Amino acid sequence: MTAYLFAVLAVLSVWDYPSRQQQHERLRAEFVQAVREGDTKKMEESSRKGTELLPDDPTWAYNLACSLAYREKPDAALDQLEKAIDLGFRDASAIAVDSDFRRISSNRRFKELVEYAKESADRPIMLGPLAVADATGIVGESLALGEQNMLWDFDTGCFMAKMKLAPGVADGNSGDLYMNRDGGHSRLVVTNYPGVTEVKLDKTGRERRLDLDFPNVRFPYPAFGNCSRAYVGDSFWRSIPRAMMTTSVRHLRTMATLYMDNQVWVFPANADFPPVGTNGDVFASVTPYWLVTQGRSWSDQYYLRAALDASRSFHPTVKREIVGRRLLAPTIMTLIRKSLKDVKSEDDYLTEKAHPTCLPPNGLDLARLKKFAADMREPAIPPVVRIVRFGAPVEKKPEIPELTYFTPFAAAFVLRSPEEKRSFAFVVDGAAEVAYRIVHDPAGAAKIEEQKGVAALVSIDRTKLSGTTRVDLAVFGRNPGTGWGAPTYVSFSVVDMDAPYHDPALVPRTEVK
């Protein structure tokens, strides 16, 4: 049949999508709420706004088709369904049984469209944001990615690169990617790592500044990256990591995805931590999703190079297994922490020695790191554990939520309730054996009251905490034949309004002085 094309020519570049992410999320929430309430009018309104925001997005076109079918507007619904199919929504089986179309399922054109979707399933998508092609490169040679090589994933808030690398330099880093996100300010000397492919955005992507700051690309290969930038000059000064845990928390969802997608990232702490910072340790929380280094620009290089050294040291079959299980980032970061000079044993790894807020200059026993990687075999690949449930009872619920963020491998609380003694219960899964440990508590405010298998009860004495004395709880897992794996962190902090510095991002607006 002839495709119905009304204005389906792409009117947006994929580079436009990041700036529309938050509007999309708001409209999606409105649409989902309308569906739950059975409000077909609001369904149509929100999906129309969605198609106006993203006129070439197949999902919004499909949502509008469903809404119009409910509103008994069959011709308009079928037009939108055809548009959705042209843009890439081609799951004929799902369309055929979708109850949203029950009012028009007997329509001859609906049946034709189901068949059209089936016939189109293996055809290239020629219109809209799904009309992409692989960028082709060679292992060890730089590769630029343009909009024709990128998809935008609204669920994770990041690009998905379409690329293929032909064999090139044979080295332990063959197939590893490198991406710099500070405009080349602290760029790796890639030629020192044969087999590493540097990936960049094309001129348009760089002009849109989409290659700076927060990591935002998923790759089909392992990736290593760094960014020596920070926010300076106003009351919201902070490093990139602290920004992702406070003012730009939405990026944590992306970082959690990249962490379990074989990406290793390194950032400097800048003024958030001594010696550059003069306010002490101002991090209110930590995550396992990146490595943070003491110092300014270029302090990240040492640990970036160490991560690449670990990657090249794995036996090829072991590395393939780690990458295939999407555990490269947790595994490398675990080995880096176990190779810190003060960490001498597995027991040490479960202490503060292995989990400083920021990694010190030249802090590694590099020979030990490489040996750890070279000696690892498939049965010894350590697991990761994730938080599956928590409880934080209070006598009086504070007006401002205490939970700053909750992701599978990191959570953070700002304690706002006036209660002096607090209890928190956690349950994790992912490993045969689990260990809960307090790995940061300079004020002695926390205690693990009880651990039963994968569950634990933790108490916090809020009166002992200040703006620079947070608590970090770490949870580790191991299986028979493995060492302890990467930490899952839960951080607890308070806002001290009388301290020389307090983070305005964590202060309720009504309390800002």
* pLDDT at position 9 over 80: no
* pLDDT at position 171 over 80: yes
**Distance (Å, whole) CA 312 – CA 31:** 47
* pLDDT at position 513 over 60: no
Give start and end residues of each alpha helix (H) in 88-226.
92-97, 108-120, 203-207
* pLDDT at position 474 over 90: yes
Lookup result for tokens 């129309």: 48
* pLDDT at position 250 over 70: yes
pLDDT tens digit string along 274-331?
A: 999 999 999 999 999 999 999 999 999 999 999 999 999 999 999 999 999 999 999 9
Query: Which of 37-41, 417-421, 449-453 has the lowest average pLDDT?
Result: 417-421
Q: What is the pLDDT of residue 126?
A: 84
Give the pTM: 0.94
pLDDT tens digit string along 196-228?
A: 999 999 999 999 999 999 999 999 999 999 999
**Distance (Å, whole) CA 224 – CA 129:** 27
How many C-beta atoms lie closer than 10 Å to residue 348's C-beta?
15
Output the average pLDDT for the chain. Answer: 95
**CB proximity list for 43: less than 8 A, separation 6 or greater:** 31, 34, 35, 63, 66, 67, 70
Rounded-to-10 torsion of CA 343, 348, 349, 350:
-160
Token couple for 293:
């280094």
How many C-beta atoms lie closer than 10 Å to residue 372's C-beta?
22
Give start and end residues of each alpha helix (H) in 260-343.
299-313, 316-324, 328-338
* pLDDT at position 8 over 80: no
pLDDT tens digit string along 92-116?
A: 999 999 999 999 999 999 999 999 9
**Distance (Å, whole) CA 200 – CA 14:** 16
> How far, in Å, are 207, 225, 329 from residue 314 at the CA level?
37, 19, 13
pLDDT tens digit string along 428-438?
A: 999 999 999 99
When pLDDT is cut at 50, 70 and 90, the band that residue 128 belongs to is confident
Kindly state the average pLDDT of the residues 503-510: 79
Q: What is the pLDDT of residue 509?
A: 60
